[in-house]
Structure 1
Amino acid sequence: MILAVLQARMGSERLPGRPSMPLARAPLVVRQIERMARARRVDRIVVSTTTDPADDALEAVIRREAIAVHRGPPQDELARLAGALEAHPADHVVRIGDDSPLVDPDLIDATIDLHLSERADHTTNRSPGAAFPAGQGVEVITADGLRRLAADSAALRLRAGDARETPPPVRWSSLALLAQPDQGEVRWAVEGPADYAFVAAVYDVLYPANRAFTSADVRRLLEQRPDLASFGGVRRL
Protein backbone atom coordinates (compact mmCIF):
# COMPACT_ATOMS: atom_id res chain seq x y z
CA MET A 1 0.00 0.00 0.00
CA ILE A 2 1.44 3.34 -1.07
CA LEU A 3 0.02 6.52 0.45
CA ALA A 4 0.68 9.87 -1.21
CA VAL A 5 0.51 12.78 1.23
CA LEU A 6 0.08 16.27 -0.17
CA GLN A 7 1.23 18.64 2.56
CA ALA A 8 -0.72 21.87 2.22
CA ARG A 9 -1.55 24.92 4.30
CA MET A 10 -3.04 28.34 3.69
CA GLY A 11 -0.45 30.13 5.81
CA SER A 12 2.55 30.12 3.46
CA GLU A 13 4.83 33.01 4.45
CA ARG A 14 5.79 33.87 0.87
CA LEU A 15 2.42 33.24 -0.76
CA PRO A 16 -0.50 33.16 1.71
CA GLY A 17 -3.53 31.29 0.43
CA ARG A 18 -1.53 29.42 -2.22
CA PRO A 19 -3.69 26.23 -2.27
CA SER A 20 -6.80 28.24 -3.12
CA MET A 21 -5.28 30.34 -5.91
CA PRO A 22 -7.02 29.61 -9.23
CA LEU A 23 -5.53 27.53 -12.03
CA ALA A 24 -7.76 26.89 -15.04
CA ARG A 25 -10.84 27.86 -12.99
CA ALA A 26 -10.15 25.58 -10.03
CA PRO A 27 -8.06 25.91 -6.85
CA LEU A 28 -4.36 25.14 -7.28
CA VAL A 29 -4.58 22.28 -4.79
CA VAL A 30 -7.35 20.64 -6.86
CA ARG A 31 -5.26 20.81 -10.02
CA GLN A 32 -2.32 19.27 -8.15
CA ILE A 33 -4.49 16.44 -6.85
CA GLU A 34 -5.61 15.76 -10.43
CA ARG A 35 -2.00 15.27 -11.46
CA MET A 36 -1.06 13.17 -8.45
CA ALA A 37 -4.08 10.92 -9.04
CA ARG A 38 -2.65 9.90 -12.42
CA ALA A 39 0.36 8.26 -10.78
CA ARG A 40 -0.18 4.55 -11.30
CA ARG A 41 1.82 3.40 -8.27
CA VAL A 42 -0.13 5.52 -5.75
CA ASP A 43 -2.97 3.70 -4.00
CA ARG A 44 -4.42 6.59 -2.01
CA ILE A 45 -4.03 10.35 -1.67
CA VAL A 46 -4.42 12.25 1.60
CA VAL A 47 -4.03 15.98 2.12
CA SER A 48 -2.23 16.86 5.33
CA THR A 49 -2.89 20.31 6.74
CA THR A 50 -2.89 22.09 10.08
CA THR A 51 -5.43 22.60 12.84
CA ASP A 52 -5.15 26.36 12.31
CA PRO A 53 -8.65 27.81 11.68
CA ALA A 54 -7.29 29.35 8.48
CA ASP A 55 -7.12 25.82 7.06
CA ASP A 56 -10.83 25.11 7.66
CA ALA A 57 -11.62 26.44 4.20
CA LEU A 58 -8.86 24.29 2.68
CA GLU A 59 -10.33 21.19 4.30
CA ALA A 60 -13.74 22.02 2.84
CA VAL A 61 -12.27 22.36 -0.67
CA ILE A 62 -10.45 19.04 -0.39
CA ARG A 63 -13.42 17.12 0.95
CA ARG A 64 -15.54 18.34 -1.95
CA GLU A 65 -13.07 16.45 -4.14
CA ALA A 66 -13.72 13.26 -2.11
CA ILE A 67 -10.11 13.31 -0.85
CA ALA A 68 -9.27 12.49 2.76
CA VAL A 69 -7.84 15.22 4.99
CA HIS A 70 -5.63 14.85 8.05
CA ARG A 71 -4.99 17.83 10.32
CA GLY A 72 -2.16 18.20 12.82
CA PRO A 73 0.06 20.64 14.72
CA PRO A 74 0.63 23.91 12.81
CA GLN A 75 4.34 24.07 13.65
CA ASP A 76 5.26 20.42 13.14
CA GLU A 77 5.18 19.26 9.52
CA LEU A 78 6.74 15.91 10.37
CA ALA A 79 4.11 15.16 13.03
CA ARG A 80 1.39 15.94 10.49
CA LEU A 81 2.98 13.56 8.00
CA ALA A 82 3.28 10.79 10.59
CA GLY A 83 -0.29 11.47 11.72
CA ALA A 84 -1.57 11.06 8.18
CA LEU A 85 0.16 7.67 8.05
CA GLU A 86 -1.38 6.58 11.34
CA ALA A 87 -4.83 7.63 10.14
CA HIS A 88 -4.35 5.92 6.77
CA PRO A 89 -1.97 2.96 7.25
CA ALA A 90 0.36 2.12 4.39
CA ASP A 91 3.70 0.45 3.71
CA HIS A 92 5.28 3.49 2.08
CA VAL A 93 4.56 7.22 2.11
CA VAL A 94 5.08 9.60 -0.81
CA ARG A 95 5.53 13.19 0.34
CA ILE A 96 4.79 16.10 -2.01
CA GLY A 97 4.50 19.78 -1.13
CA ASP A 98 1.63 22.06 -2.12
CA ASP A 99 3.90 24.22 -4.30
CA SER A 100 3.89 21.66 -7.12
CA PRO A 101 0.85 21.97 -9.43
CA LEU A 102 3.05 20.83 -12.35
CA VAL A 103 4.19 17.66 -10.58
CA ASP A 104 4.72 14.84 -13.08
CA PRO A 105 2.78 11.58 -12.44
CA ASP A 106 5.38 9.56 -14.35
CA LEU A 107 8.13 11.04 -12.18
CA ILE A 108 6.18 10.10 -9.06
CA ASP A 109 5.97 6.53 -10.39
CA ALA A 110 9.66 6.44 -11.33
CA THR A 111 10.70 7.57 -7.84
CA ILE A 112 8.47 4.94 -6.25
CA ASP A 113 9.78 2.25 -8.61
CA LEU A 114 13.39 2.99 -7.65
CA HIS A 115 12.48 3.06 -3.96
CA LEU A 116 10.76 -0.33 -4.14
CA SER A 117 13.24 -2.05 -6.42
CA GLU A 118 16.21 -1.13 -4.22
CA ARG A 119 14.32 -1.57 -0.95
CA ALA A 120 15.50 1.80 0.27
CA ASP A 121 14.33 3.48 3.45
CA HIS A 122 14.13 6.85 1.72
CA THR A 123 14.24 7.97 -1.91
CA THR A 124 14.23 11.47 -3.42
CA ASN A 125 14.47 13.01 -6.88
CA ARG A 126 16.00 16.27 -5.67
CA SER A 127 19.59 15.19 -5.03
CA PRO A 128 22.06 18.12 -5.33
CA GLY A 129 23.91 18.02 -8.63
CA ALA A 130 21.40 15.74 -10.36
CA ALA A 131 18.02 17.11 -9.30
CA PHE A 132 14.73 17.37 -11.11
CA PRO A 133 13.17 20.86 -11.15
CA ALA A 134 11.83 22.52 -8.05
CA GLY A 135 8.12 21.82 -8.16
CA GLN A 136 8.78 18.24 -9.28
CA GLY A 137 10.10 17.09 -5.92
CA VAL A 138 9.03 13.66 -4.69
CA GLU A 139 10.14 11.89 -1.52
CA VAL A 140 9.30 8.28 -0.66
CA ILE A 141 9.90 6.79 2.77
CA THR A 142 8.98 3.49 4.37
CA ALA A 143 6.27 3.61 7.00
CA ASP A 144 8.67 2.21 9.58
CA GLY A 145 11.29 4.80 8.68
CA LEU A 146 8.79 7.64 8.98
CA ARG A 147 7.63 6.44 12.38
CA ARG A 148 11.21 6.23 13.63
CA LEU A 149 12.00 9.65 12.21
CA ALA A 150 8.94 11.17 13.90
CA ALA A 151 9.82 9.53 17.21
CA ASP A 152 13.41 10.80 17.03
CA SER A 153 12.23 14.30 16.15
CA ALA A 154 9.75 14.31 19.04
CA ALA A 155 12.51 13.25 21.42
CA LEU A 156 14.76 16.03 20.12
CA ARG A 157 12.01 18.61 20.65
CA LEU A 158 11.53 17.48 24.22
CA ARG A 159 15.25 17.88 24.87
CA ALA A 160 15.77 21.08 22.92
CA GLY A 161 12.39 22.71 23.49
CA ASP A 162 11.85 23.76 19.86
CA ALA A 163 9.75 22.67 16.91
CA ARG A 164 11.40 21.31 13.77
CA GLU A 165 10.31 21.10 10.16
CA THR A 166 10.90 17.87 8.26
CA PRO A 167 14.61 16.91 8.35
CA PRO A 168 15.94 14.37 5.86
CA PRO A 169 16.21 10.82 7.19
CA VAL A 170 19.93 10.33 7.79
CA ARG A 171 20.08 7.06 9.71
CA TRP A 172 18.72 4.82 6.97
CA SER A 173 19.57 3.95 3.41
CA SER A 174 18.74 6.83 1.10
CA LEU A 175 18.63 6.76 -2.70
CA ALA A 176 18.22 9.41 -5.37
CA LEU A 177 16.54 9.26 -8.75
CA LEU A 178 19.04 11.26 -10.80
CA ALA A 179 18.24 13.85 -13.44
CA GLN A 180 20.69 14.07 -16.32
CA PRO A 181 21.53 16.81 -16.90
CA ASP A 182 20.98 18.49 -13.55
CA GLN A 183 17.80 20.60 -13.49
CA GLY A 184 18.09 21.78 -9.93
CA GLU A 185 18.14 25.45 -10.93
CA VAL A 186 14.90 25.13 -12.92
CA ARG A 187 11.91 26.37 -10.94
CA TRP A 188 8.38 25.18 -11.59
CA ALA A 189 7.49 25.44 -7.90
CA VAL A 190 4.99 28.09 -6.86
CA GLU A 191 7.01 29.88 -4.21
CA GLY A 192 6.08 33.50 -4.92
CA PRO A 193 3.76 35.67 -7.04
CA ALA A 194 5.94 35.44 -10.18
CA ASP A 195 5.99 31.64 -9.94
CA TYR A 196 2.21 31.57 -9.66
CA ALA A 197 1.87 33.83 -12.72
CA PHE A 198 4.22 31.50 -14.64
CA VAL A 199 2.28 28.34 -13.75
CA ALA A 200 -1.05 30.05 -14.44
CA ALA A 201 0.19 31.00 -17.92
CA VAL A 202 1.25 27.39 -18.56
CA TYR A 203 -2.16 26.10 -17.47
CA ASP A 204 -3.97 28.70 -19.58
CA VAL A 205 -2.20 27.41 -22.68
CA LEU A 206 -1.99 23.66 -22.08
CA TYR A 207 -4.90 22.64 -19.86
CA PRO A 208 -7.81 23.48 -22.23
CA ALA A 209 -6.31 21.28 -24.95
CA ASN A 210 -5.14 18.41 -22.72
CA ARG A 211 -5.94 18.13 -19.03
CA ALA A 212 -3.28 15.43 -18.72
CA PHE A 213 -0.50 17.55 -20.22
CA THR A 214 2.99 16.26 -19.46
CA SER A 215 6.32 17.73 -18.47
CA ALA A 216 7.39 17.25 -22.07
CA ASP A 217 4.44 19.41 -23.13
CA VAL A 218 5.56 22.12 -20.70
CA ARG A 219 9.10 22.04 -22.06
CA ARG A 220 7.89 22.24 -25.65
CA LEU A 221 5.81 25.27 -24.74
CA LEU A 222 8.78 26.93 -23.06
CA GLU A 223 10.97 26.29 -26.11
CA GLN A 224 8.41 28.18 -28.17
CA ARG A 225 7.90 30.93 -25.61
CA PRO A 226 11.18 32.56 -24.51
CA ASP A 227 9.15 34.98 -22.39
CA LEU A 228 7.98 32.06 -20.27
CA ALA A 229 11.31 30.22 -20.31
CA SER A 230 12.84 32.98 -18.18
CA PHE A 231 9.66 34.35 -16.62
CA GLY A 232 10.31 36.49 -13.56
CA GLY A 233 14.04 36.35 -14.21
CA VAL A 234 14.10 32.70 -13.16
CA ARG A 235 15.26 29.68 -15.14
CA ARG A 236 12.16 27.73 -16.19
CA LEU A 237 13.71 25.50 -18.89
Structure 2
Amino acid sequence: MNNNSLKATAIIQARIGSTRLPKKIFLPLSGKPILWHVYQRVKKSKLIDNVIIATTDLPEDDLVEMFCIENKINYFRGSSDDVLSRYYFTAKNFQSDIIVRITSDCPLIDSNVIDEIIKLFISENADYASNVLERTFPRGYDTEVFSFSVLEKTFFEAKEKFEREHVTPFIYNHPEIFKLVSYKINKDYSSLRLTIDTQEDYNLIKIIYDSLFDSNNFFNLNDVINFLNKNPELIKINQHIEQKKLGE
Protein backbone atom coordinates (compact mmCIF):
# COMPACT_ATOMS: atom_id res chain seq x y z
CA MET A 1 0.00 0.00 0.00
CA ASN A 2 1.34 3.39 -0.88
CA ASN A 3 -0.95 5.80 0.90
CA ASN A 4 1.36 8.34 2.53
CA SER A 5 3.72 5.40 3.07
CA LEU A 6 1.31 3.73 5.48
CA LYS A 7 2.06 0.05 5.87
CA ALA A 8 -0.90 -2.33 5.86
CA THR A 9 -0.38 -5.66 7.58
CA ALA A 10 -2.83 -8.54 7.56
CA ILE A 11 -2.62 -10.56 10.76
CA ILE A 12 -4.17 -14.03 10.56
CA GLN A 13 -4.75 -15.54 13.98
CA ALA A 14 -4.21 -19.30 13.94
CA ARG A 15 -3.93 -22.06 16.52
CA ILE A 16 -4.20 -25.83 16.67
CA GLY A 17 -6.53 -26.04 19.65
CA SER A 18 -9.99 -25.27 18.31
CA THR A 19 -12.64 -26.80 20.57
CA ARG A 20 -15.23 -27.95 18.02
CA LEU A 21 -12.91 -29.21 15.28
CA PRO A 22 -9.33 -29.75 16.54
CA LYS A 23 -6.48 -29.06 14.11
CA LYS A 24 -8.99 -27.73 11.59
CA ILE A 25 -6.47 -25.28 10.12
CA PHE A 26 -4.54 -28.25 8.71
CA LEU A 27 -7.52 -30.07 7.19
CA PRO A 28 -7.00 -30.42 3.42
CA LEU A 29 -8.82 -28.52 0.71
CA SER A 30 -7.78 -29.32 -2.87
CA GLY A 31 -4.55 -30.87 -1.59
CA LYS A 32 -3.43 -28.00 0.68
CA PRO A 33 -4.16 -27.15 4.34
CA ILE A 34 -6.90 -24.65 5.14
CA LEU A 35 -4.30 -22.27 6.62
CA TRP A 36 -2.32 -22.30 3.36
CA HIS A 37 -5.43 -21.26 1.41
CA VAL A 38 -6.29 -18.47 3.86
CA TYR A 39 -2.75 -17.12 3.61
CA GLN A 40 -2.66 -17.25 -0.21
CA ARG A 41 -6.06 -15.59 -0.55
CA VAL A 42 -5.14 -12.74 1.82
CA LYS A 43 -1.78 -12.34 0.09
CA LYS A 44 -3.61 -11.70 -3.18
CA SER A 45 -4.81 -8.35 -1.81
CA LYS A 46 -3.43 -5.40 -3.77
CA LEU A 47 -3.33 -3.13 -0.73
CA ILE A 48 -1.67 -5.33 1.89
CA ASP A 49 2.10 -5.07 2.27
CA ASN A 50 2.68 -7.96 4.65
CA VAL A 51 0.77 -11.04 5.80
CA ILE A 52 1.64 -12.46 9.21
CA ILE A 53 0.36 -15.58 10.93
CA ALA A 54 -0.02 -14.89 14.65
CA THR A 55 -0.08 -18.10 16.64
CA THR A 56 0.28 -18.94 20.32
CA ASP A 57 3.28 -19.74 22.47
CA LEU A 58 1.75 -23.11 23.46
CA PRO A 59 3.94 -26.13 22.57
CA GLU A 60 1.15 -27.59 20.39
CA ASP A 61 1.45 -24.56 18.10
CA ASP A 62 5.03 -25.46 17.25
CA LEU A 63 3.22 -27.13 14.33
CA VAL A 64 2.00 -23.73 13.13
CA GLU A 65 5.51 -22.30 13.42
CA MET A 66 6.87 -25.25 11.45
CA PHE A 67 4.22 -24.72 8.75
CA CYS A 68 5.22 -21.05 8.48
CA ILE A 69 8.92 -21.85 8.23
CA GLU A 70 8.34 -24.53 5.58
CA ASN A 71 6.18 -22.15 3.53
CA LYS A 72 8.39 -19.07 4.10
CA ILE A 73 5.56 -17.19 5.84
CA ASN A 74 6.20 -14.46 8.42
CA TYR A 75 4.86 -15.40 11.82
CA PHE A 76 4.73 -14.27 15.43
CA ARG A 77 3.94 -16.15 18.62
CA GLY A 78 2.13 -14.70 21.64
CA SER A 79 -0.47 -15.31 24.31
CA SER A 80 -3.03 -18.05 23.70
CA ASP A 81 -5.75 -16.40 25.83
CA ASP A 82 -4.95 -12.71 25.43
CA VAL A 83 -5.34 -12.55 21.65
CA LEU A 84 -5.44 -8.75 21.85
CA SER A 85 -1.88 -8.73 23.21
CA ARG A 86 -0.85 -11.23 20.52
CA TYR A 87 -2.17 -8.84 17.86
CA TYR A 88 -0.58 -5.81 19.50
CA PHE A 89 2.90 -7.31 19.75
CA THR A 90 2.66 -8.80 16.25
CA ALA A 91 1.71 -5.42 14.78
CA LYS A 92 4.41 -3.67 16.79
CA ASN A 93 7.06 -6.19 15.80
CA PHE A 94 6.26 -5.79 12.09
CA GLN A 95 5.87 -1.98 12.32
CA SER A 96 2.31 -1.94 11.01
CA ASP A 97 0.33 1.27 10.49
CA ILE A 98 -2.91 -0.36 9.37
CA ILE A 99 -3.95 -3.79 10.63
CA VAL A 100 -6.30 -6.11 8.78
CA ARG A 101 -7.68 -8.78 11.09
CA ILE A 102 -8.48 -12.18 9.57
CA THR A 103 -9.13 -15.51 11.28
CA SER A 104 -7.72 -18.80 10.02
CA ASP A 105 -11.10 -20.54 9.70
CA CYS A 106 -12.10 -18.54 6.60
CA PRO A 107 -10.71 -20.35 3.51
CA LEU A 108 -13.15 -18.51 1.23
CA ILE A 109 -11.92 -15.05 2.29
CA ASP A 110 -11.99 -12.71 -0.70
CA SER A 111 -9.08 -10.33 -1.41
CA ASN A 112 -11.42 -8.00 -3.33
CA VAL A 113 -13.60 -7.61 -0.24
CA ILE A 114 -10.51 -7.00 1.89
CA ASP A 115 -9.33 -4.26 -0.47
CA GLU A 116 -12.73 -2.56 -0.55
CA ILE A 117 -12.80 -2.41 3.26
CA ILE A 118 -9.27 -0.99 3.38
CA LYS A 119 -10.29 1.66 0.81
CA LEU A 120 -13.36 2.54 2.90
CA PHE A 121 -11.21 2.76 6.05
CA ILE A 122 -8.88 5.23 4.33
CA SER A 123 -11.48 7.30 2.48
CA GLU A 124 -13.59 7.74 5.63
CA ASN A 125 -10.54 8.46 7.80
CA ALA A 126 -11.97 5.85 10.14
CA ASP A 127 -10.58 4.27 13.28
CA TYR A 128 -12.23 0.96 12.42
CA ALA A 129 -13.91 -0.44 9.30
CA SER A 130 -15.43 -3.89 8.86
CA ASN A 131 -18.15 -5.99 7.30
CA VAL A 132 -19.18 -7.52 10.64
CA LEU A 133 -20.97 -4.72 12.52
CA GLU A 134 -23.90 -4.65 10.10
CA ARG A 135 -23.82 -8.06 8.51
CA THR A 136 -24.63 -8.52 4.84
CA PHE A 137 -21.72 -10.86 4.04
CA PRO A 138 -21.76 -14.58 4.81
CA ARG A 139 -19.84 -15.72 7.86
CA GLY A 140 -16.41 -16.64 6.58
CA TYR A 141 -15.69 -13.31 4.90
CA ASP A 142 -15.14 -11.36 8.12
CA THR A 143 -12.59 -8.59 7.70
CA GLU A 144 -11.74 -5.89 10.23
CA VAL A 145 -9.41 -2.95 9.56
CA PHE A 146 -8.06 -0.56 12.18
CA SER A 147 -5.03 1.62 12.81
CA PHE A 148 -2.09 0.71 15.00
CA SER A 149 -2.83 3.68 17.27
CA VAL A 150 -6.36 2.33 17.85
CA LEU A 151 -4.97 -1.14 18.55
CA GLU A 152 -2.48 0.34 21.01
CA LYS A 153 -5.16 2.31 22.85
CA THR A 154 -7.29 -0.85 22.99
CA PHE A 155 -4.37 -2.92 24.24
CA PHE A 156 -3.82 -0.56 27.18
CA GLU A 157 -7.47 0.17 28.02
CA ALA A 158 -9.45 -3.04 27.39
CA LYS A 159 -9.94 -4.82 30.71
CA GLU A 160 -12.72 -7.38 30.23
CA LYS A 161 -11.78 -10.98 29.47
CA PHE A 162 -13.84 -11.12 26.25
CA GLU A 163 -12.24 -7.85 25.10
CA ARG A 164 -8.81 -9.47 25.38
CA GLU A 165 -9.86 -12.80 23.83
CA HIS A 166 -11.53 -11.31 20.75
CA VAL A 167 -9.32 -8.28 19.93
CA THR A 168 -11.90 -5.78 18.67
CA PRO A 169 -15.00 -5.68 20.99
CA PHE A 170 -13.52 -2.76 22.97
CA ILE A 171 -13.27 -0.81 19.71
CA TYR A 172 -16.75 -1.40 18.32
CA ASN A 173 -18.41 -1.15 21.74
CA HIS A 174 -17.08 2.41 22.12
CA PRO A 175 -18.46 4.38 19.17
CA GLU A 176 -18.17 7.50 21.32
CA ILE A 177 -14.37 7.07 21.24
CA PHE A 178 -13.75 5.56 17.80
CA LYS A 179 -15.05 6.37 14.34
CA LEU A 180 -16.63 3.13 13.09
CA VAL A 181 -17.67 2.49 9.49
CA SER A 182 -19.44 -0.50 7.96
CA TYR A 183 -18.93 -2.05 4.54
CA LYS A 184 -22.11 -3.61 3.18
CA ILE A 185 -23.37 -5.13 -0.05
CA ASN A 186 -26.81 -4.66 -1.61
CA LYS A 187 -28.08 -8.17 -0.91
CA ASP A 188 -28.15 -9.78 2.52
CA TYR A 189 -26.18 -13.04 2.59
CA SER A 190 -25.62 -13.00 6.35
CA SER A 191 -27.59 -16.23 6.86
CA LEU A 192 -24.99 -18.18 4.84
CA ARG A 193 -22.41 -19.98 6.93
CA LEU A 194 -19.12 -20.25 5.02
CA THR A 195 -16.62 -20.47 7.85
CA ILE A 196 -15.12 -23.65 9.35
CA ASP A 197 -15.93 -24.42 12.96
CA THR A 198 -17.47 -27.90 12.71
CA GLN A 199 -17.27 -31.03 10.57
CA GLU A 200 -20.42 -29.96 8.71
CA ASP A 201 -18.84 -26.59 7.87
CA TYR A 202 -15.79 -28.38 6.51
CA ASN A 203 -17.94 -30.77 4.47
CA LEU A 204 -19.68 -27.84 2.75
CA ILE A 205 -16.51 -25.88 2.02
CA LYS A 206 -14.77 -29.01 0.74
CA ILE A 207 -17.57 -29.43 -1.83
CA ILE A 208 -17.16 -25.77 -2.84
CA TYR A 209 -13.39 -26.21 -3.27
CA ASP A 210 -13.77 -29.50 -5.13
CA SER A 211 -16.17 -27.78 -7.53
CA LEU A 212 -14.48 -24.39 -8.07
CA PHE A 213 -10.78 -24.50 -7.22
CA ASP A 214 -9.37 -26.28 -10.28
CA SER A 215 -10.83 -23.80 -12.77
CA ASN A 216 -9.94 -20.72 -10.67
CA ASN A 217 -7.72 -20.95 -7.58
CA PHE A 218 -8.96 -17.55 -6.41
CA PHE A 219 -12.69 -17.96 -7.00
CA ASN A 220 -14.49 -15.09 -5.31
CA LEU A 221 -17.67 -14.43 -3.33
CA ASN A 222 -19.77 -14.08 -6.49
CA ASP A 223 -18.53 -17.44 -7.74
CA VAL A 224 -19.52 -19.07 -4.45
CA ILE A 225 -22.95 -17.42 -4.41
CA ASN A 226 -23.60 -18.49 -8.01
CA PHE A 227 -22.55 -22.05 -7.20
CA LEU A 228 -24.83 -22.20 -4.14
CA ASN A 229 -27.73 -20.70 -6.10
CA LYS A 230 -27.36 -23.58 -8.57
CA ASN A 231 -27.04 -26.13 -5.73
CA PRO A 232 -29.29 -24.75 -2.97
CA GLU A 233 -29.55 -28.11 -1.19
CA LEU A 234 -25.90 -27.73 -0.12
CA ILE A 235 -26.77 -24.86 2.20
CA LYS A 236 -28.64 -27.33 4.44
CA ILE A 237 -25.38 -29.19 5.25
CA ASN A 238 -24.45 -26.74 8.01
CA GLN A 239 -27.54 -24.55 8.31
CA HIS A 240 -28.32 -25.89 11.79
CA ILE A 241 -24.92 -24.97 13.23
CA GLU A 242 -25.05 -22.10 15.72
CA GLN A 243 -22.24 -19.56 15.70
CA LYS A 244 -20.20 -19.58 18.90
CA LYS A 245 -20.91 -16.56 21.08
CA LEU A 246 -18.20 -14.24 22.38
CA GLY A 247 -16.64 -15.76 25.45
CA GLU A 248 -17.45 -19.38 24.57
Q: Alpha-carbon deviation of 1:37?
A: 1.0
For the residues of structure 2 that align with 1:176 and 1:231, how far apart are their CA atoms?
29
Which moved further from structure 2: 176-185 or 103-112? 176-185
For the residues of structure 2 that align with 1:32 and 1:165, how far apart are their CA atoms?
19
The answer to whether structure 1 residue 146 and structure 2 residue 187 are counterparts is: no
Three-state SS of the structure 2 residue aligned to 1:49 is strand
Q: CA RMSD in A?
A: 1.8
Q: Alpha-carbon deviation of 1:226?
A: 2.3
CA 1:88–1:180 in 2, change beyond 3 Å: closer, same or farther? same
Q: Who is 1:211 aligned against?
A: 217
For the residues of structure 2 that align with 1:131 and 1:227, how far apart are their CA atoms?
21
For the residues of structure 2 that align with 1:106 and 1:36, how far apart are their CA atoms?
9
| Identity of matched residues, % | 28
The answer to whether structure 1 residue 32 and structure 2 residue 33 are counterparts is: no
The answer to whether the 8 A contact 2:85-2:164 is kept is no
For the residues of structure 2 that align with 1:230 and 1:214, how far apart are their CA atoms?
21
The number of equivalent residue pairs is 229
**Alignment map for 1:1-237 (pairs within 5 Å):** 1-128=7-134, 130-153=135-158, 156=159, 164-166=165-167, 167-169=169-171, 170=174, 171-234=177-240
Which moved further from structure 2: 76-85 or 214-223? 214-223
Unaligned runs of 5+ in 2: 1-6, 242-248
Q: Alpha-carbon deviation of 1:51?
A: 0.4
CA 1:229–1:3 in 2, change beyond 3 Å: closer, same or farther? same
The answer to whether the 8 A contact 2:193-2:239 is kept is no
For the residues of structure 1 that align with 2:65 and 2:206, how far apart are their CA atoms?
23
For the residues of structure 2 that align with 1:28 and 1:163, how far apart are their CA atoms?
25
The answer to whether the 8 A contact 2:52-2:73 is kept is yes
Which residue identity is paired with 1:136? Y
TM-score, structure 1 normalization: 0.91
Runs of 4+ residues deviating >4 angstroms: none
Unaligned runs of 5+ in 1: none
